[in-house]
Amino acid sequence: MKIVDKLSDKLLPIATKLNNQRHLTSIRDSFIVTMPLIMAASIFILLNALIFSNAWVNQFVDLSQLANLATLMNNATLGILAILVCYNIGVNLSTWYVNNGRISASGFNSINAGGLSVALMFLMMPVTSQVTLTNGKTAEATGIFMQSLTSSSGLFVAMFAGILGTELFVHFSQYDKLKIKLPDGVPPAVASTFNSLIPEVLVLIVVAVPVYAITTLSKLSIPDIINTAIQTPLRGFVLSPVGMIFLQFISDFLWVFGLHGSSILSPITTAPQLQSIQENMTAFAHHQAIPNIVNGPFIGSYGLLGGGGCMMALIIAIFLVSKLEAQKSIAKLALVPSVFNIAEPIMFGLPVVMNPIFMIPAALIPSLNLVIAYVLTNIGIVGRMVAMAPWITPTGIQTYVSTAGNIPATILTFLLLALDVLIYIPFVMASNKVKSTNEAKA
């Protein structure tokens, strides 16, 4: 227990500080808002691939024209994902400054910060782009913005623009001399607009000048620079087998100390994983080879069976071998939430958190599951993820939906769950033995 306590004393302050860091929380909350849109896009991509564009179905009822419906849905959701994230980062970050008293709420509107963030995002985009014509030839076009920069591929530019723009906007908004004072009878919405007029103009100028200088001298666009310096290396790490296992272990390690590990790491992992699943969804919609293995649905389907630490397996193990009525009672209460991947009742009720017996399997089992699933997916035994099911989708069903009905992948999920139960059983028996020994001594 002394080792656990020492680790807790050193780890908790650092993890708590990261969890409450304003830029990370703003990014994390911005991604959460986009989840319903991503789910909607997944539904229509599955419908398109399995029904609208299915040759067997179209033999009986021609639904091929409805394929355009899936395209429209994709353009309206995944196609503008970076814009939505950028706007929400501006709103969330500026709201944090208001809520924490860093800037007066009087005459300040967070909506202005969101709009300014989007403006900066587009300011950083190239003014000309290479496009492919319908005849297959390429040409330089101006006056358009590529969807590759407004979708998940542009998330890093969106995050950079949202944070930079909002920080500068908040800084300039603190100076009263930069505010245009209006009579008291002016509506608040109008007053806040005039108050932000000069700060917003200054932010645009301060950013536009170096952007112009950098792109002119280097002949590279800001998205190209960010992609080379940040996006590509981070994506390579997050989506690699080593990176996946490392981040999953850190996530579950934080969990067993009472911290929501996946939430803390989401600002790092979400953007690459979203880009990964969007690429898979696009390939699936066009009946092409699925390019990526690691993404959010992959982690959720195999590494979060019943929530963080694979708590569903622990609950089943308790039902099978535990002789302690207290454990069984807690397991009964936690069963239904765990079915929907909510781990907190068993994690804190048993508890698993700070429990030297259950901490070990809870921190290691999800990573083991992901290693097995990655190997089997890589050699082609189970299918890859092509859609995003809601994270509360029950174990097995989530895999079935995310792989568009791949039976081997679904079976693998239940086999992993059975393996996890077998691993948890000795630890449940050990906890029973420790409890009995302690009661005997008492």
Sign of CA pseudo-dihedral 252, 162, 297, 36: positive
The distance of Cα 64 from the centroid of its chain, to the nearest Å, equals 33
- Looking at residue 438, its pLDDT comes to 60
| Helices 359-378, 407-441: inter-axial angle, 10-degree rounding | 160
Q: Which of 4-13, 157-166, 254-263 has the highest mean pLDDT?
A: 157-166
pLDDT for the residue 214: 93
In this structure, the number of other CB atoms found within 10 A of the CB of residue 430 comes to: 12
The pTM (predicted TM-score) of the whole model is: 0.85
The average pLDDT across 80-109 equals: 88
The better pLDDT of the pair 89, 69 is held by 89
Q: Are the C-beta atoms of residues 337 and 345 closer than 8 Å to each other? A: yes
Asked if pLDDT for residue 341 goes beyond 80, the answer is yes
Cα separations in angstroms, 171 against 34, 194, 224, 393: 28, 16, 28, 43
pLDDT value at residue 356: 85
Q: What are the C-alpha distances in Å from 223 to residues 116, 123, 215, 268?
A: 18, 11, 10, 18
Helix (H, G, I), strand (E, B) or coil at 129: strand
- Give tens-digit pLDDT for 342-351: 888 999 888 8
pLDDT of 65 above 90: no
Average pLDDT of 406-410?
96
User: At 130, is the pLDDT very low, low, confident or very high (cuts 50, 70, 90)?
Assistant: confident
Cα-Cα-Cα-Cα torsion 319, 325, 329, 330, nearest 10 degrees, comes to -80
CB 423 within 8 A of CB 346: no
15-24, 81-90, 142-151 — most confident range: 81-90
Q: Which amino acid is at 394?
A: P
| Banded pLDDT at 210 (limits 50, 70, 90) | very high
Q: Where are the alpha helices (DSSP H) in 219-322?
A: 222-226, 232-238, 241-255, 261-285, 296-303, 311-321
Share of the chain above pLDDT 70, in %: 92
Which H or E run includes 131?
A: strand 128-132
Residue 347: partners with Cβ closer than 8 Å, 6 or more residues away: 255, 307, 308, 309, 311, 353, 362
Residue 380 has pLDDT above 80, yes or no: yes
Rg (CA), the chain: 25
CB 21 within 8 A of CB 33: no
pLDDT given at position 138 = 79
- The pLDDT value given to residue 166: 95
Report the distance separating Cα 162 and Cα 91, nearest Å. Answer: 9
Which residue is it, tokens 């769950």? Answer: 417
- 283, with CB counted inside 10 A (0-12, 13-18, 19+), is middle
From its phi and psi, is residue 310 left (phi > 0), alpha (psi between -120 and 50) or beta? left
Q: Distance between CA atoms of 117 and 149, rounded to whole angstroms?
A: 15
Confidence of residue 440 (pLDDT cuts 50, 70, 90): low
Examine the pLDDT at 436 and tell me if it is beyond 70: no
Q: Is the peptide bond before 394 cis (omega within 30 degrees of 0)?
A: no
- Please determine, for residue 72, whether its predicted confidence score (pLDDT) is greater than 80: yes
Contact 412, 377 (CB under 8 A): no
pLDDT exceeds 80 at position 17: no
Distant-in-sequence contacts of 400-408, Cβ < 8 A, 24+ apart: 401/46, 402/297, 402/298, 402/300, 402/301, 403/301, 404/46, 404/49, 404/50, 404/284, 405/50, 406/382, 408/381, 408/382, 408/383
Residues 344/351, Cβ–Cβ less than 8 Å: no
Is pLDDT above 70 for 254?
A: yes
